[in-house]
Amino acid sequence: MSKLQGKVAVVTGASKGIGAAIAKTLAKEGAAVVVNYASSRAGAEAVVAAIHAAGGRAIAVQGDVSQAAQAQGLIDAAVAEFGRLDVLVNNSGIYEFAALDAVTEAHYRRQFDVNVLGVLLTTQAAARHLGEGGSVITISSAVTHVHMPTAAVYAGTKGAVNALSGVLANELAPRKIRVNVVSPGFVVTEGTHTAGVVGSDLEAGLVAQTPLGRAGQPDDIAGVVAFLASDEARWLTGENITASGGIR
């Protein structure tokens, strides 16, 4: 039997990249999946279509997780459609790199609103429906310990996510809800292509520092998330798994 059979999962920011791979993998493992998107309806619907084509269940739901009403609406839509909620994957995130002299209030607020406030608001809404065995998994980043120049604000958001996830792991443990973090290293996605990282000297440098000798792929992260969502990880909470090919 598939490890997530009968479970319902919400994946935020799932219209492309790592989020899309996570949504497809959870569905392959038997979960009904809510594919959240902020602006790319076509991307989310393509993910849903792929899940349906493989025999799975999924719906696309629009919502800006940095807005409380929309975060709540996303969770409400999942429960209304599938009758329950078992897994939340906080994958929504944005990244903008800037040297210290170029950091602005807008640069800071854009990233903290989505990457940190969005995690809090969506987890708050989800926790009202998660029962014993529920799992919250948040996507952070290995940038918190690789310490790349120009990534101060983005790394700050992920450091905040790591800390708040540890707190929530303790806070939700009495209800037998697990909270864990996955921190990817460099992963080839639409976003890293658009940002010009793929094929650049930066990518070459990161791969050179990676013991396993290659860039990551979205499926490399999705498999770790599926494990944490399943009962196989029932004794894990408060953990931060670095999925980076060994880069430190």
Residue 223 to residue 221: CA distance in whole angstroms: 5
Length of the chain: 248
Q: How far is residue 183 from each of residues 17, 75, 161, measured CA to CA in Å?
A: 15, 24, 10
Return the active site residues. 154
